[in-house]
Structure 1
Amino acid sequence: MRWLLLWGWLGVAWAGGNALEESRLLEGLHLDGGARALTLTTPTGPFQAILDEAATRERKGVAILLPEAGARADAGVLRALRRGLPPHGWSTLSLQLPVLEAEAEPQEYWDLLPQAAARVAAAVVRMKAAGYTSIALVGHGFGATAALRYLGQGGDDSVRAAVLLSPWWPAAHNDELATWGRAAAVAVLDVYGERDDRAVLRSAPRRRLLFKDLDGFRQWRISGSGHGYRGREAWLVERIYGWLQQVGPEQEVGDDG
């Protein structure tokens, strides 16, 4: 049944980005354990997400996971979070963000941020309808910047925290990014690797200045780690969970309809 759902996704034409590339990514998606496929909708069309519910009696909230540019919903370090947060009482909702063709230049993704932020907004609405009142956004690279765009344009008071993993910070758009950062009104955890991408490293001091006055703000540099946090995933899951425990949990009950 799960695979029938996956093949059904391939017939959907997504507005914005490259629909064929998004379909190709979804072909490789595997729903394991109790994961459920969800279809959410924005004004530009439907998109897909994966819900992994908390594996504890009391759920503490939901983390909306946002992947890197051109990546599948559960790619890289986000796969570790999908598996690692539910045993600690946090559900996860992994979103497929809009993508471009594989040959696209990184700067071309800037124009997809409005669509990506709209998907975040749709996910927040869906999780609130499911009874969650404590929501965290966890994004990697492009996904982190999409979370920042969403927060910078108002967000929602049920979103209590944002984890920005190596946020994409193109110098050409520094003013817009700074405006979104100043408008964010949630606890922020800013994480980057010691051997991260040059733009991430260069913007780290600027990000610290933007967020330093927010309650709960932390900035971590992960020693020896690159942009993908390979080999540090389990450690990072535990640290993110510990930070979320300080800034965002709330005992939850309800149906995830």
Structure 2
Amino acid sequence: MRNGSTAILVGLEGQYHFILLTRQGNMKTMKRMSLILVLNLAFSTTLLAEIWSDVDKEQRWAEQIIDTLFDGETIWLDASGHEFLAIDMEASDGDTGRAAIVVHGIGVHPNWEQVVRPLRVGLPEHGWHTLSIQMPILLNDAESYQYAPLLDEVAGRINAAIGYLRERGQENIVIVAHSMGATMTMRYMEDVPEAPVLGLVLIGMQGGSETVHDNAATLEKINLPVLDLYGSDDLPGVVDFTERKADAARTAGNDAFRQIRVEGADHFFDDLEDALVETVAGWLEDNAS
């Protein structure tokens, strides 16, 4: 190497290059190359971020869904290099320009028979295009607190779903989420406060700070139309925090927040699927159309 010269390694678009710097003009060039290197490393770190979701389980769910799906079309979306399954279903009346992203609960998949499938198939009958997406998951015996690291992966998946829908002319987008999916949606709203969504339907959502995410604290920052939907026989962690969530909405000054309790419904709205769909569709018609 020539006297007074310096070589640095710069990676660009997956390729690495040695840049030889001479004394002449080397300070400005060094600063410029250093900036490129820092930005490149930051970008590479983002791309190589660890995936906490059980991708093998996701693949098993995907294979099962693809083999048995009757309503809708399976597609693959990409979040930071990780492909995940989604189920796309058009509104029965054709293109209405409005769509609901359906977000399932803990450990399951976008065609789960409880809550998720009734909504993704039922809402199209009310003029809503649906896109039900695979969220990050763990093994079946995982506790809810173990999902904390997975929340970092949520924004990428919901953003990918929004991008897919908007590319197809669906500009009026809402999120309909159940249980852990509602918690993931709250984390999404923390990470992307200006998200292009017009409303949130949060079904069976807990609200306390002892959960994996403090949902009530996030509600204090939201002024979108929000439906907090739960059953009279829901989980204690849902029923006991209804007033806390209502207080959070009042703190936000959110006049478009509403709570609806469905009598006789448990956490999964078993045997009350029609009431679930009708309640959600009715609220969406009044608040997010």
Q: Give TM-score, length-normalised by structure 1.
A: 0.84
| 1:18-74 CA-partner distances (Å, limit 9, x unpaired) | 1122222223213214x1222111125111101001110451510000001101112
Q: 2:64 aligns with which of 19, 28, 47?
A: 28
Indicate the residue corresponding to 1:230 in structure 2: 270
Structure 1 stretches of 5 or more lacking a match?
A: 1-13, 250-257
Which amino acid in 2 is paired with 1:218? Answer: R
Higher relative contact order (CA closer than 8 Å, sequence separation 6+): 1
Matches of residues 156-235 of structure 1 in structure 2 within 5 Å?
A: 156=194, 158-169=196-207, 171-173=209-211, 176-212=214-250, 213-235=253-275
**Residues 138 and 147, structure 2, Cα contact 8 Å, conserved in 1:** yes
Partner SS for 1:183 = coil
**Residues 165 and 190, structure 1, Cα contact 8 Å, conserved in 2:** yes
**Residues 97 and 119, structure 1, Cα contact 8 Å, conserved in 2:** yes
Deviation at 1:176, TM superposition (A): 4.0
Which amino acid in 2 is paired with 1:41? Answer: D
Indicate the residue corresponding to 2:82 in structure 1: 45
Task: Decide which moves more: 164-173 or 201-210.
Answer: 164-173
| 1:134-171 CA-partner distances (Å, limit 9, x unpaired) | 10100000111111111223344530010000114454
Which amino acid in 1 is paired with 2:89? Answer: D
Task: Give the Cα–Cα distance (whole angstroms) in 2 for the partners of residues 216 and 174 of structure 1.
Answer: 26
Alpha-carbon RMSD across the aligned residues, in angstroms, is: 2.0
Task: Give the Cα–Cα distance (whole angstroms) in 1 for the partners of residues 223 and 196 of structure 2.
Answer: 11
Task: Give the Cα–Cα distance (whole angstroms) in 2 for the partners of residues 143 and 241 of structure 1.
Answer: 19
Indicate the residue corresponding to 1:149 in structure 2: 187
Task: Decide which moves more: 170-179 or 109-118.
Answer: 170-179
Task: Give the Cα–Cα distance (whole angstroms) in 2 for the partners of residues 40 and 174 of structure 1.
Answer: 26
Which amino acid in 2 is paired with 1:72? Answer: H
The reply to whether residue 240 of structure 1 matches residue 280 of structure 2 is yes
Indicate the residue corresponding to 1:109 in structure 2: 147
Partner SS for 1:47 = strand
Q: 1:74 aligns with which of 111, 114, 120?
A: 111
Which amino acid in 1 is paired with 2:183? Answer: T
Structure-2 change in CA distance of 1:74 and 1:211 (3 Å): farther
Larger Rg: 2
Task: Give the Cα–Cα distance (whole angstroms) in 1 for the partners of residues 177 and 129 of structure 2.
Answer: 15
Which amino acid in 2 is paired with 1:220? Answer: I
Structure 2 stretches of 5 or more lacking a match?
A: 1-49
Partner SS for 1:16 = coil
Indicate the residue corresponding to 2:130 in structure 1: 92
Structure-2 change in CA distance of 1:110 and 1:44 (3 Å): farther
Identity of aligned residues (%): 31
Task: Give the Cα–Cα distance (whole angstroms) in 1 for the partners of residues 245 and 262 of structure 2.
Answer: 16
